[in-house]
Structure 1
C-alpha cells in the first residue's frame, strides 16, 4: 500500500484526528475500486458502532425526550446522509483513494461512499486514540447537528441541486478554472453555473471545499 501523503496527514490532524499508523489511515480512505487488499469497510463497521454509542449517550445526557423520540433523532444523526454531510464539511472527497472509473462515475462524492468513509475515519481514530478522544472528536464535528441543525439546514451543494430542480433549471455544473500555489498548499478556484441563471466562483484549499463555497455564494446571490 502507498504511503500516507504529508498533505493528507496535515488535513487529518487539522480536524482533530490522531494520526500514528499511516497504513491504518490509508486503509480508512481507500475505496474497494483501487484493487488493493485492504479498504475502508472493516474500519467503517467499527466506526459506525463508536458513532452510534457516542450519539446515543449524548442524546440521553442532554435531552429529556422519551425513547421513541431519542431513537428517531439517533437514526437521523447517524444516517449515511448525515455522515456524508460531515465528510463534505471537512473535505473528505479531496482525499478519497479510488480507481479512475469509480471517480469518473462520481463515487468520490456519493453519500454512501462518503458516509462509509466518515465512519471508517472514526474507527481508525478509535484504534489510535481510544474511545474518549474519539467521542470528543464526534462531539466537535456533530455539535451543530445535535444542537438542532440536523434536518433544518442542508449542505450548500445539496441545497443548490434542489433549488435548480425546484425551479426547473438544469443541474448546476462545477468547473475548476484555476489552480495555484505549490503542491503542499494548492489553491483551487471553482466556477459553478446554472444555465440561464448565472455563475459564481470561489477559491479554497481543496476542490470540494471550493465547490461548497461556490454553491453557498450562488445561493446567496441567486437563490
Structure 2
C-alpha cells in the first residue's frame, strides 16, 4: 500500500517509516468516516494511551531517582493529558491529514483538541504495532521534545497553585463559574470566572473550559500575590 504524498510527509515529520502503512491510515481515520470495511482509530487510541503512559512513566522514573510518587504523578499527568497530546499533534500538523466525515470537516474537526489528541494516541499505537515498543518510545520522546524538561513547571499548573494558596490562607478551594459561551460550535469561546471564598475573582476567555479555567486561575493568582 502506498501512502498519499500528504500522509507520507506526515510520516516523515513523525520520523517513522511504516512497514504496514495501513496502520497509519487507520490511526488517521475518525469514526465519522469509518464503516464495516474501513476501521476507525478508536481501538488504536485505546492502545496508544497505554503505550504513551508507559513511555512517560518510565522516562520520569529514570530521570529522577529520588522523586516520590506524589511528585511523579502530577508530572506524569501533565505529559499525558489530552491538551498536551493535542499540542504535539498540532506541532506535527496531524490535523492536515486526519480523515474526517463531512460533518466533522465542516465543524472544524481538524482543529478540535479532542480529535487531535485521540489521533495522536492512535498514531503512537500504530508505530508500536508496526515496529515495537522501542520504536514507539523513540517517537514519543522525540515528539514530546522539551516538554519533558519543563514538566515540573507544567505539572504545577495555575489551578493547583491557586488552590494551594487558598488553603494556605484557610479558605475553601476556588470555584470556577462559566460566565459565557460564545462563537460557533466549531470554534467556541468560553468565559470562566475564578472565585475565592474571600470574594476576590478574575475572568478569562479561551477555546476550552479547561484553558479558560487555567487562565482565570493564573490571573487571580497574580492579583492575590500582588496584594
Q: What TM-score do the two structures reach when normalised by structure 1?
A: 0.64
1:122 pairs, out of 121, 124, 129, with 124
Alpha carbon RMSD of aligned pairs, Å?
A: 2.0
8 Å Cα contact 2:33-2:100 kept in structure 1: yes
What is the distance in 1 between the residues matched to 2:140 and 2:54? Answer: 11
The answer for the alignment partner of 1:199 in structure 2 is none
SS of 1:151 mapped into structure 2: helix
The answer for the alignment partner of 2:51 in structure 1 is 50
What is the distance in 2 between the residues matched to 1:130 and 1:21? Answer: 12
Deviation (angstroms), 1:11: 2.2
The answer for the alignment partner of 1:14 in structure 2 is 13
Deviation (angstroms), 1:53: 0.3
Length, aligned pairs only:
153
Unaligned stretches of 5+ in structure 2? 156-181, 184-227
1:151 pairs, out of 154, 172, 177, with 154
The answer for the alignment partner of 2:107 in structure 1 is 105
8 Å Cα contact 1:4-1:25 kept in structure 2: no
What is the distance in 1 between the residues matched to 2:7 and 2:109? Answer: 19
What is the distance in 1 between the residues matched to 2:47 and 2:111? Answer: 22
The answer for the alignment partner of 1:61 in structure 2 is 62
8 Å Cα contact 1:13-1:19 kept in structure 2: no
Which region of structure 1 is more displaced relative to structure 2, 63-72 or 76-85?
63-72
Where in structure 2 are the equivalents of 1:34-45 lying within 5 Å?
34-37=33-36, 38-45=39-46
Deviation (angstroms), 1:65: 1.8
Unaligned stretches of 5+ in structure 1? 153-169, 172-223
Deviation (angstroms), 1:3: 6.3
Q: What TM-score do the two structures reach when normalised by structure 2?
A: 0.63
